[in-house]
Amino acid sequence: MFKMSGILPALILGCLLTSGLGAQSWEQLSPLNVPRYGAASVVLNGSIYVLGGATTLGQPINSVERYDSATATWDTLTTPFSIPRVNPSATVFDGKIYLAGGQDLSGTVLDEVEIFDPSSGSWSFGERMRKERRGHVLVSIRNSIAAFCGLGDDNEYEDDVEYYDLDRQRWEDSSTPLPSLRTLPFAASVNDTYYMFGGIFNFPIASGYSATVEANWDMTWTQLPDLQENRGYGATVVSGQRIFMIGGTNSTGPSSRVSFYDIGANAISDSTPLPQGLVGATAVNLDGRIYVMGGYSTDPNTPHDTVLRLDNTVGIFNGRGPGLPGTFALMSGYPNPFNGEVHLRVDISQPVRDAELQIFDIRGVRVATLYEGQLLPGRREFAWAGQNERGEAIASGIYLAVLRIGPGLQTVRLSYVK
């Protein structure tokens, strides 16, 4: 990362995240073509993919539905994968979808990995995992992929963490096992750290842990705050430095609760609840909006085709951060949306010895540094041509221009359209 204290990245993202989440409401969108629960979902090239799960009467399926946010429709044009499966897990790595594990039509727990290449529109089999797993978590981390948690074919809880060794082209076990057994947790990876909360260990549980993953795949586990209640088998979404934990089942049944863990604050808070309790739903973050697909409310034999969306989860604003009076520095961007080049205009009323102007993506990852140094009173303009620091073209999407002056921040939301 760039020259900032450890506190400042969290401060930037804290400015970008709303505090009044309770004022939002869930919007119902076009439904899935096939009702399902226990599916996996990812975002690839600006589209949502919903993969597998179980449909009516608990039948595992191999269908893939893709959502195009431009047309707000779902299609089933993507080639189905080979093995129908419920409670698999999926992640995007190196521009491809990796779908691993789950339970098939016969009830067998799988170790098979299938890989979708969008350039060819086809699926292929990858190297099998070392362990059969269902209800596990597959994440992209440490420039590879890793599998945590889950149940094996003998219904025993898996405490081994396995990762894919790119050099040897095979799965390997980490030397550090899980500190606490579980399946179907709320879990995600952020900046090479794995986070998990709740899940099922015979019954719903509440405990939380994080694992810092080293280059040799050793892990340092740290205990985190517990969930407000025992809860598992819900959906997880990362939005900036917040990990949203959506629905699931608690000690009494389906839950409508939505909470989030704030990484910088190391605290769990509630957000806007779902319209109804949902178990086994799947969810993603697309352009700062949370999409929740499928699940069931009363009976897994009659799952939902419902798709819900919560807007403004990141709450990006064009205004002042803490400690930066509006009369001291103002920033604006034009044209916005932009295609090609955007100009950032900065008006300064006092001399500034140490300023930084940088671009971040919607996850809070730095993309480019436009300026570091002194700013004199007056107007300055900076141009950004939609490239990262290596001069490579970036993808279309939402980006943030962040001006740091001492302890204060100015942010501008930028929409890049190719």
Angstrom distance (rounded) from CA 300 to CA 103 = 15
Q: What pLDDT score does 319 carry?
A: 36
Together in a domain, 26 and 109: yes
The domain that holds 68 is classified in CATH as 2.120.10.80
Together in a domain, 372 and 403: yes
Together in a domain, 261 and 397: no
37, 281 contact by CB (below 8 A): yes
More confident residue, 214 or 405: 214
For residues 91-96, average pLDDT: 96
Beta strands 186-190 and 193-201: pairing type?
antiparallel
Q: 3-state DSSP call for residue 8?
A: helix
Together in a domain, 302 and 336: no
Angstrom distance (rounded) from CA 281 to CA 50 = 11
Which helix or strand (DSSP H or E) is residue 210 part of? strand 203-213
Cross-strand pairs, 179? none
pLDDT band at 24 (very low <50, low <70, confident <90, very high): low
The domain that holds 355 is classified in CATH as 2.60.40.4070
Q: What pLDDT score does 353 carry?
A: 79
Is 1 among the domain residues? no
Is 273 among the domain residues? yes
178, 187 contact by CB (below 8 A): no
For residues 390-399, average pLDDT: 88
User: What b/e string do you get for 347-368 counting C-beta neighbours within 10 Å, with b at 16 or more?
Assistant: ebeeebeebbbbbbebebebbb
Total domains in the chain come to 2
Q: What pLDDT score does 390 carry?
A: 84
Least reliable range by pLDDT among 34-48, 201-215, 395-409: 395-409
Q: What pLDDT score does 364 carry?
A: 74
Least reliable range by pLDDT among 3-12, 272-281, 371-380: 3-12
Together in a domain, 181 and 213: yes
Radius of gyration of the chain (CA): 22
Together in a domain, 298 and 328: no
Choose one of 278, 293, 310: the last residue of a domain: 310
Is 377 among the domain residues? yes
Q: What pLDDT score does 347 carry?
A: 83
Together in a domain, 248 and 352: no
Together in a domain, 306 and 327: no
Q: Which domain holds residue 92?
A: 18-310
Angstrom distance (rounded) from CA 91 to CA 139 = 6
Is 11 among the domain residues? no
The percentage of residues in the chain with a pLDDT greater than 90, rounded to a whole number, is 67
Choose one of 279, 310, 341: the last residue of a domain: 310
Angstrom distance (rounded) from CA 360 to CA 242 = 16
For residue 130, what are its two tokens? 């070392």
The percentage of residues in the chain with a pLDDT greater than 70, rounded to a whole number, is 89
What DSSP state is assigned to residue 268? E
For residues 26-44, average pLDDT: 97
The contacts of residue 391 (CB under 8 Å, 6+ apart) are: none
Q: What are phi and psi of 153, to 5 degrees?
A: -65, -20
Q: What is the pLDDT of residues 190-230, one digit of tens each?
A: 989 999 999 999 999 999 999 999 989 999 999 999 999 99
For residue 208, what are its two tokens? 């939380």
Together in a domain, 372 and 229: no
User: What b/e string do you get for 105-141 counting C-beta neighbours within 10 Å, with b at 16 or more?
Assistant: eeeebbbbbbbbebeeeebeebeebbbbbbbbbbbeb
Evaluated on CA atoms 365, 287, 259, 144, the torsion sign reads negative
Q: What pLDDT score does 244 carry?
A: 96
Q: What pLDDT score does 107 carry?
A: 96
Is 410 among the domain residues? yes
For residue 289, what are its two tokens? 């909006």
Q: What pLDDT score does 406 carry?
A: 64
The alpha carbon of 295 is separated from its chain's Cα centroid by a whole number of angstroms, namely: 18
pLDDT band at 333 (very low <50, low <70, confident <90, very high): confident
The alpha carbon of 244 is separated from its chain's Cα centroid by a whole number of angstroms, namely: 9
Q: What are phi and psi of 8, to 5 degrees?
A: -65, -40
Q: What is the pLDDT of residues 114-150, one digit of tens each?
A: 999 999 999 999 999 999 999 999 999 999 999 999 9
Statement: residue 4 has pLDDT above 70: no
Together in a domain, 228 and 324: no
Together in a domain, 265 and 412: no
Is 8 among the domain residues? no
For residues 289-296, average pLDDT: 97
Choose one of 273, 293, 310: the last residue of a domain: 310
Q: What is the pLDDT of residues 238-268, one digit of tens each?
A: 988 899 999 999 999 999 999 999 998 999 9
Together in a domain, 326 and 258: no
60, 84 contact by CB (below 8 A): yes
Q: What pLDDT score does 11 carry?
A: 44
Statement: residue 374 has pLDDT above 90: no
Residue 25: count other Cβ atoms within 10 Å of its Cβ.
Answer: 10
Average pLDDT, the chain: 88
171, 146 contact by CB (below 8 A): no
Angstrom distance (rounded) from CA 76 to CA 86 = 18
The contacts of residue 212 (CB under 8 Å, 6+ apart) are: 192, 193, 219, 220, 222
Q: 3-state DSSP call for residue 405?
A: strand
Is 6 among the domain residues? no
Is 235 among the domain residues? yes
For residues 174-198, average pLDDT: 96
Q: Which of 301, 292, 287 is nearest to 45 (CA)?
A: 287
